[in-house]
Amino acid sequence: MTTGNLGPLMEPHPPESSSDNEEETVSLAAGQEFSTDVQLTFCVMRRSCGLQDSALQEGVRTRLRIVESSGQEIAELFKDLSARLVSVHIERDCFSITFKTVEEIWKFSTYLALGHVARCLENFLFDQSFWLNEALVDDVEISVTLNQEHLATVYLGLLLQEGTFFAKALCPITNPDDDDLCIKKNDLVMVKNVGQDSFWEGMLLSSGRHDLVPVSAMQPLPYPFYQWFLKTYPGSAGSPSPGKCLFDHAIGKGTCVAVVDNNSKGTDELNFNKGEQLEIVGFLLSGLEWFVGRCVSSGKTGFVRTIHVKPESFKPLDTHLVFLSEEEKALLTMLDPSSEQCYDTLLNNLAKTDINTVYRLDKLVKSEFPDLKNQSQLEEMSLDGFTESSMLERYEMVPTEHSPEQTDSKSQCSNKDITCLTFSSEDTFKEMDELEEDPKFFVDLNTWDTEDSEFFEPILTFLNEDHYVSHYQSLYDISFSFLNSTFYGFSEEGELVQYLENAREWAKKSRMNWALRRICFLLGRLCAKKVKFSQARVYFEESLGVPGCGFADTFLLTALYINLAAIYLKQNMKEKLEVILEKANSLFLCLPQHLFSSFNEFEVLQVVLRKAIMTSDMHLEARTCFLVMTLFLKLGRTEGALPFVERLQFLSLSISAQTTVSPVDLNWMLSTLYYDKYLPHMSLGSLRLASDQRRSLHATLQKVDRFIQNAIRLNAQWAGDNSPLPAQITIYLKQALAIASQSGDIQAQRDLCLSLVNVYQHYRVFDGAVEYAERAIETGRQINEEEAFKASLLLAWLLICNEQVEKASDILASLLKSLDETDSSTQRGVVHNLLAICLRKENRIKEAAGNLYWALKKSQETGNKRNQALTLANFGYLALSIRAYVLAEGYLLKSLQLFSELLDSSTDADHVQACLLLGQCYIETKRTEDGRLCYETALLIAMSARNLHSQLHAAKSLSCFYEKVLPRLGQCIIYYEHCVALSRQLKDKRLEGELLETLSKLYSSLKTEKACRKSLDYTKQSLRIFIDLGKKDKEAESWLQAGRIYYMIRENELVEMYLQAAIETAQRMNDSQFVMRMYEEAGDVFYKGNGHREAAIAFYRDGAVPLSRSTGDADSELRLINKLTELETNLKHYDDALQYATLAVRLSVSTGDQLKERIAFHRLASVHYSLQQYEMAENYYLKALSLSPLQCVKEARYFVKVYYRLGDLTLHKLEDALDASGYFNLALAAALEELENKEALYIIYIKLAEIHASHVPDEKLHSFFMSNAQALRKEPAPDTDTFC
C-alpha cells in the first residue's frame, strides 16, 4: 500500500529475479482478463498523534452519503482527478475507481504523488464548520492509500491494450543474424505487443532498427509521464555514455582537477595540463559529457570533458536550491501576471459592512431556519468585487516603502478571464543604467549599394563589443524585440535582412569579428523564423566559425550552439550533430539564467530529456523540465507547460524524499495552470499545498482571489456582492493577516479582520467573530476614530446576536457618549437602535422605547426611509412583546408602507420579516384572515426577490398557520411541499429530511390509500436522507413510519420487515431506552390496529419488557404488561392473560400509585371473569373500587360501570339476588351523583325492578323502580352492553 506514490508504478528488476513479473507480463500479453478497478482508501488522521479521528471520519462518511445520492458532485471531483468513479463504499472508507487509458493513470498517479488527491478530498468532504476551527485545520488531514502493485498491474495492462509503448533494456541483447541490431543495457526501445508470450516487437530509438526482443529483457518505463513524453515528442535517443564519471553528486559546483592533458583544437574547448585546477562555471552535471570550466592558472574559459577531471572542492547545491541557482529559484517563485494586479476592490468587498449607516432589525423569536440573508439566486448575482482588481500601493509584493521609480511605473490593471503564466529574465540583465534607452538604428534603404562604410559604422560599432552588454538582450530574446527596439525604418523583414547582409559584408571588410558574429546570428534567427532552416544553418555556422573567444559573450555562444543543434536535429544531420550536441547541452543546462532565443531550442531539450530517462538521472531530468517549463510559459503555452510543471514538482518531492533538502514549491503555479484549464478542484487542492515562500501580503491576497474564483466555479451561489463565502477562505485570510501584522500594514490588518468577522458571523460562530472584531477595533484606532467606531458597533451587534446583551449595552453606551461632541445623526441613530434592541432583551421596555424614538428622529432628520422603516418595525416588535397589539399594528403598517416605497433589493429580507411580524400580531388578536394575508404577502415578496431563506421562513409560517391556527390540511401540505423544494435548492439535507417526515405524517392522517402511498413515498425519501446523514434515531423512526403505512394499506408481508429494520437501527445506537421505545411503538402498530393484533405480543414480550426490566423502568414495564394483558384477553388466551394481570398488580403496588393499582386490579378481575372465576372476579372488582373512593363526579361513571358489572355477575353467575340488589343500589347511588347520565339511571332502575319482580319479590319496590324508569324513558333504552 502507498500513501504518496512517490516511486515509479513499476519497479525495475534484474533478469535473473524476474520470474514472477515475467509470468504476470506474459499472462497479460496473452490477453488474460484482469480487474481494472482500484480501491482508493481514505482515512481522517491527526498529525499530532498519527491516529485516526473517529468523529471526523464519521462526519466524512455522512458527507459522502449525502453526495452519493446524487452522484454528480463526487463524479465531477474524480473527473478532475482523471479517474473514473465506479462506486463508493462508505462503510469501508474507500472509492472504487478505474482507468481506461494510460494518460488517465498517468495524471492520477501524478496527482496522488503531489498530494492533490488528498487535498481535493479534504476540500470536498470536510464541512464548513471544520474550516472555522483553526486547531482542527492545523492538526487534521486526510490520508489516502491504494494498492501499488495492483495499480502497476493496471498500468501494464493498459500499455498492452494500447499496443505500442516504451521500455528500457535490462541487459545487453544481440541478434546473431543482424550485427547492426545490438541493444545495450538501458537503451530505450519502442515495443509492440504482437501476441507472443515471450517476445515483443521492438524498435531501438537510437538507430530505428526493428526486431523481436525477449519480454523478460524489457522493463516498461516505470513512469507514465515517460510514455506520454516519448509518444508525444518522438525522436532519436542516443546510447548510454561508455565513459565513467568520477563525481559522486549528480549536480554541483566548485573546483576540480584535470586527470589528463588536453591540447584539443576544438572550437571553444579549454586546454589544460594534468593536475591543473579548474573552476566550474555554473554547474557540473555528472550525466553530461561536457561542462564549462575556467582554468585557475590561465583564467581562460572553455568546454571541459567531464571524464577528464576529478572532484577537488566539489559540493552539491545548497539544500534550498536542489537543482537551481539562486537567480533561477527567484525567477521560479515569481508570480504570474496577476501579480501586477492589486486587491483593493477584493478587500473592500470582503470587509464591507454597513453597520455604521444601516439600522438592524430586532430578530424574531429563534427559528429553526438560518438568519435571513439578502441574497438572490444566480440570475441576480454578480461577480463584481471578486474578479476585478485595481492598483493599490500598500499591497505590493514587498510591503515596505516604494521608490518613486516603482510608484511611477505602476499602472491600472484590468481583469482577465484567463491568466497566462510567463517568466521574464529581464531582472537578470538589469544594470545600473537600466533606465537608459537602447540605441536605435535606421534601416536606410538607399545604402544597399553604397561603398561608404560610414553608413554602417554606428551599427557595426554597436555590435562589435567583445563582451555582453545589456543592450544586446533584445537581439537574443525569444520575442524578437530587436525588430521594434533596435531597428526602424523598414516595412518588412526582407528589407531588414538585406540591410544586415550589407552590414555583414562591411563587417568582414572591416574585420570587426564580433559585429560579424552577431550580424550572422541575427540573419540566422530571421531565416529560422521564416522556416528557412538551411539558410539559417549557414548563417549560424558562419557566426560560430568567426575567430574569437565565444565565452566572452556566453549568451550569444549558447544561442548559437543550441539553435544550430536544433537545426541539425530537424535536418537529421547526425555527423554534425555529434560534434555540437553535447556541448550545446552543457551550455543549455550547466549555465544558469538561460536566455531563450527560439522555440526550436525545445528540440535539443527533448534529446536531453530522453537521455535523462535512459540514465534515470533525476537531477538532469529536473533541470531539463525546468527549462522546458520556462520556455513554454514564456511563450504563453500553458497547456503544453503543465505536464512539465507537474513532473518538476514530482521530481522535487522525489529528491527531497531521498535527502533532507527542501523541495521547490510549484503549487501556486500549478493552481494557476489548473484554473486556466477549468479544473477548480485541482486548482483548490494545489492552492492548499502552496507554501508561503515569499511571504508577501500581495501573494497571499492572490491566494484569496484565486480561492474565490475557484469556489464560484464549483458553486455559483458563492457569487455576488452580498453572497456568503465558503468558510475555507479563513485559511488564506488568516495567512494574509499574519503577514500584514508582521509588516505593520494597519489598513490591511483592519480590512482582513473585518473580512474574517463577516465569514464567522455568517456561519454563526460568534466567538471567532468577536475575537476578530476586537482586533479590528485595535487596528481601527490606529487609522482614525471613525474606523474604531465602526468596528465597535460591529462588535456590539455580534454580542447582541450572541446573547451577551449586558456587554453590548456597555459598549453602546460608551459609543453614544463619544458622539456628544459630534453632529453625526446617522451614527447616533444606529447606536440608539442597537441600544434599544439590547434594552428590549433585558425587558427594559420604557428605555428601549426611548432609544427607538431617538433612532426614528435621527433617521427622519437624514431622510433615510430604510432606517425609518426598520425603526418602526422594531417599535412594532417591542409593542408586540408586551401584547400592545393596537400599537404594534400601527407601527408595523407604517413600516410596511415605507418598505414598499423602497426599490433597494437589499431591504427585501427586512420587508419579509416586518410582514411576518404583522401577521403574528393579527393571529394573536384572533384576526386569522388578516394574519394569513400578511404571511402570503411575505411569501410573495420573498419570491419576487428570489430570496430563498426568506421564502423558506414565510412558507414555514404559512404551513404552521394552516396546521394549528386555521386547520386546513390541504393548504398545510402545499406549503410544506414548497418548503421541501426550497430546502433542496439550499442543499440543506437535514431540513429536507425533517420536512419530508412532517409531510409523511400529514398525508398519513388522511387515511386514504392514495394519501398513504404518498406518505410512504415521502417517508422513504426522508429515510434515505437520514441514512445519508447518519442520524440513527431519525432513521429508525422513518423505518417505523414506513411499517405503519404498510400496515394501513394492508401490505402485511412488508410490515414486520420495516419494523424489524427500525429495531435493528435503534440497536446500533446503544441506547436501551430508545430501543425499548422502538419495540413498543412497533407493537403499537398492531395493538392499535384492527388486524393481526397478535403480532404485537412478540414485540412487547420479547423486546420491550426485558429492556424495561434491565433499565429498571417500572412504569414502562407496567404499561407494557397492561397492554399484554389486554391483548391476551382479546385473543382469549386467558391463562396467559392471568399471568400478566397478576404481574401487573404486583408492579402497580410497587409504584404506590393508586390509579395504576386500580387499573391493574380491574384488569385482573376482568381476566378472572373471562375464566368464569366469578368469586375471584368479584373480589378484585371490589379491591379496584376500594382504591378510588368516590370523591368527584368524574369518578362516578366508573363506579356505576363496576357496580353494575358486580350486580350482573352476582345475579346471573353467582345467583345471589340479595347481593345483586345491593350492588345495583350502589350503582344507582353513583349514577345519581352524575344526574346527566339518564341512560345509566334508566338501565339500573329496570334491573332493580326486575330483581324485585322475579328474584326478591317486593311489589312496592318493583313499582317504585319501574315508575322511575318510565319517567326517564323518553325514548327506547339503549343496549345495556354500553354500560357493562
At residue 303, the pLDDT reads 93
Helix-helix angle 746-762:785-801, to 10 degrees: 20
Summarised one tens digit per residue, pLDDT across range 1186-1243 is 887 766 667 788 888 888 888 888 888 888 888 888 888 888 888 887 766 788 888 8
Q: How far apart are CA 585 and CA 1234, in angstroms?
A: 116
SS3 call for 1142:
helix
Residue ranges of the chain with per-residue pLDDT less than 50: 1-2, 4-6, 12-31, 335, 337-340, 365-436, 1277-1284
Summarised one tens digit per residue, pLDDT across range 812-844 is 999 988 888 777 889 999 999 999 999 999 999
Provide the CA 989 distance to its chain's centre, in angstroms: 17
Going by C-beta distance under 8 Å and a sequence separation of 6 or more, which residues neighbour residue 65? Answer: 90, 1027, 1028, 1029, 1030
At residue 322, the pLDDT reads 78
Number of other CB atoms surrounding residue 1207 within 10 Å: 25
Contact between 858 and 829 (Cβ < 8 Å): yes
The set of cell numbers assigned to 303 is 568546454
The set of cell numbers assigned to 777 is 477595533
At residue 396, the pLDDT reads 36
SS3 call for 278:
strand
What is the phi/psi pair of residue 1133, to 5°?
-95, 75
User: Where do runs of H (alpha helix) occur along 1131-1192?
Assistant: 1134-1151, 1154-1170, 1174-1186
Measured on CA atoms in the order 1196, 1198, 1200, 1202, is the torsion positive or negative? negative
Q: How far apart are CA 578 and CA 588, in angstroms?
A: 16
Q: Which of 494, 547, 499, 546 is nearest to 521 (CA)?
A: 546
What secondary structure, in 3-state letters, does 32-93 show?
CCCCCCEEEEEEEEECCCCCECHHHHHHHHHHHHHHHHHCHHHHHHHHHCCCEEEEEECCCC
The set of cell numbers assigned to 46 is 491527526
The set of cell numbers assigned to 1016 is 410512504
Q: How far apart are CA 140 and CA 45, in angstroms?
A: 6
Measured on CA atoms in the order 832, 838, 839, 841, is the torsion positive or negative? positive
Q: How far apart are CA 202 and CA 182, in angstroms?
A: 12
SS3 call for 735:
helix
Q: How far apart are CA 1101 and CA 1084, in angstroms?
A: 12
Scanning the structure block, which residue is given the C-alpha cell 505593520?
744
Q: Which of 937, 904, 897 is nearest to 919 (CA)?
A: 937
Based on its alpha-carbon atoms, the radius of gyration of the chain, rounded to whole angstroms, reads 45
Q: How far apart are CA 1116 and CA 1107, in angstroms?
A: 10
Task: Output helix, strand, coil percentages for the chain, rounded to the nearest 5.
Answer: 65, 10, 30
Q: How far apart are CA 248 and CA 1098, in angstroms?
A: 81
Task: Identify the bridge partners of residue 189 per DSSP, sorted by sequence position.
Answer: 167, 204
Number of other CB atoms surrounding residue 787 within 10 Å: 20
Q: How far apart are CA 667 and CA 855, in angstroms?
A: 53
Q: How far apart are CA 1230 and CA 1225, in angstroms?
A: 9
Scanning the structure block, which residue is given the C-alpha cell 450572541?
802
Scanning the structure block, which residue is given the C-alpha cell 394573536?
924
Q: Which of 78, 219, 223, 229 is nearest to 155 (CA)?
A: 223
Q: How far apart are CA 1084 and CA 1000, in angstroms?
A: 18
SS3 call for 262:
strand
Give the Å distances, CA to CA, from 875 to 26, 862, 916, 924. 86, 19, 14, 17
The set of cell numbers assigned to 150 is 495492483
Model pTM? 0.81
Task: Identify the bridge partners of residue 85 per DSSP, sorted by sequence position.
Answer: 97
Length reported for the chain: 1284
Q: Which of 156, 169, 281, 286 is nearest to 612 (CA)?
A: 286
Going by C-beta distance under 8 Å and a sequence separation of 6 or more, which residues neighbour residue 340? Answer: 413
SS3 call for 986:
coil
Q: How far apart are CA 870 and CA 1230, in angstroms?
A: 65
Q: How far apart are CA 225 and CA 651, in angstroms?
A: 12
